[in-house]
Amino acid sequence: MTTRELTLPTAELHLHIEGTLEPELILELAARNGIALPFPTLELLSAQYEFKDLQSFLNLYYANMAVLITEADFADMTRAYLGRAQAAGVRHAEIMFDPQAHLARGVELTTAVDGIVAALASSEAEFGISTGLIAAFLRDESEDSALEVLEALLSMGAPIIGIGLDSAEVGNPPSKFVRLFERARAAGLRLVAHAGEEGPPSYVVEALDLLGVERIDHGIRSVEDPALVRRLVAEQVPLTVCPLSNVRLRAVDTLAEHPLPRMIEAGMNVSVNSDDPAYFGGYLGTNFEALETEFAWGASVARTLAGNSIRSSFASDSRKSELLAELDSWSAAQG
């Protein structure tokens, strides 16, 4: 498939830029920077992409970041993502990065930020994709560490639109980060957090009530709590669902058992996203194709999902109107 999914205009709201680092680029950057990799060939490296849970993925994801040293490395990674996203129909992308993961390796904040921002600066002109940058904080690190890095980002004037919370979820509830989110809110930043990926529905409730987030990343385990489902429907809280990620990290056994159809049916505000596409089998277009193959939804569900993504984005009202008009044209062309 299919021309339809490939050109469906969408916003991608849940994307870790470090998760777009393809094995080929890892090897290229390792060579460029003189870094010895534990898995130094494409064959050896590619054999590592079997995951049993979130942590087993995170281990490889953090290890592979070792090749990101210079501003140009970050810019090349980001540009490669934008090219692939454009091919998948992405028209607006809100991109997370993990500042603490780079600082821990001795890479300066400015190197990561300036490299990513250099690529984002030409994104609209080069790829037709408007963008926003979100600093994601590692929930398995301390809140003090996150606060220190947030202050550094603010004082360097990093052009971030918001903050998020990612990494190992279970045992690291949103309640650990109340002061971080208060500080970010006071700084005028938008607020999102991963919750209910591997963690229980109560983490989704905490993220909403204690952190005041505007969107939940993943949120699939919400379906285990009927009262929470009713609330998410009533408040139309956006949930950025990542179907292929959930299958590859075994949050669900198979795509056929993924809760997304039930979430749509219940009237939840869900969108489809690629999370870490270099690790989970594909970019946004591949996620839509897999869903189409599994559930044979047709154009009206695709339109709902794309509309949700655009409306749930932090794009300007005028950009949202522009993209919703594009979506109308797409729908009309489906006949």
C-beta separation of 129 from 85 below 8 A: yes
Name the one residue in this structure whose structure tokens are 């795509």. Answer: 255
Closest approach, Cβ 148 to ligand HPA, in A, equals 20
**Contact flag: residue 292 with ligand HPA (CB under 6 A):** no
In sign, the C-alpha dihedral spanning 231, 234, 239, 243 is positive
**Contact flag: residue 243 with ligand HPA (CB under 6 A):** no
Whose CA is closest to 11, among 131, 136, 134?
A: 131
Q: Which entry of ligand HPA, Zn ion, none binds 198, CB below 5 to 8 A by partner kind?
A: none
Site size with ligand HPA, rule: CB under 6 A: 11
Residues 207 to 236: which contact ligand HPA by CB under 6 A?
A: none
What is the end-to-end Cα distance of the chain in Å, rounded?
A: 17
| Binding piece for Zn ion, criterion CB under 5 A, among 29-37, 120-128, 205-213, 268-276 | 268-276
**Contact flag: residue 275 with Zn ion (CB under 5 A):** yes
With CB atoms as reference, the residue minimizing the distance to ligand HPA is 166
CA distance 128 to 124: 4
Please name the residues in contact with 141: beta carbons below 8 A apart, sequence gap of 6 or more.
Answer: 100, 167
**Contact flag: residue 302 with ligand HPA (CB under 6 A):** no
Closest approach, Cβ 275 to ligand HPA, in A, equals 5
Look up residue 48 and give its DSSP letter: T
**Contact flag: residue 194 with ligand HPA (CB under 6 A):** yes
Q: Which entry of Zn ion, ligand HPA, none binds 243, CB below 5 to 8 A by partner kind?
A: none
Selected from 8, 10, 12, 16, the binder of ligand HPA by CB under 6 A is: 16
For the residues of 198-232, what is the DSSP string, one character each? SS-HHHHHHHHHTS--SEEEE-GGGGG-HHHHHHH
Please name the residues in contact with 19: beta carbons below 8 A apart, sequence gap of 6 or more.
Answer: 61, 275, 276, 277, 278, 279, 280
Q: Which entry of Zn ion, ligand HPA, none binds 19, CB below 5 to 8 A by partner kind?
A: ligand HPA
Q: Which entry of ligand HPA, Zn ion, none binds 54, CB below 5 to 8 A by partner kind?
A: ligand HPA
What residues act catalytically? 197
Per CB under 5 A, residues contacting Zn ion are 275
Per CB under 6 A, residues contacting ligand HPA are 16, 19, 54, 61, 166-167, 194, 197, 245, 275-276
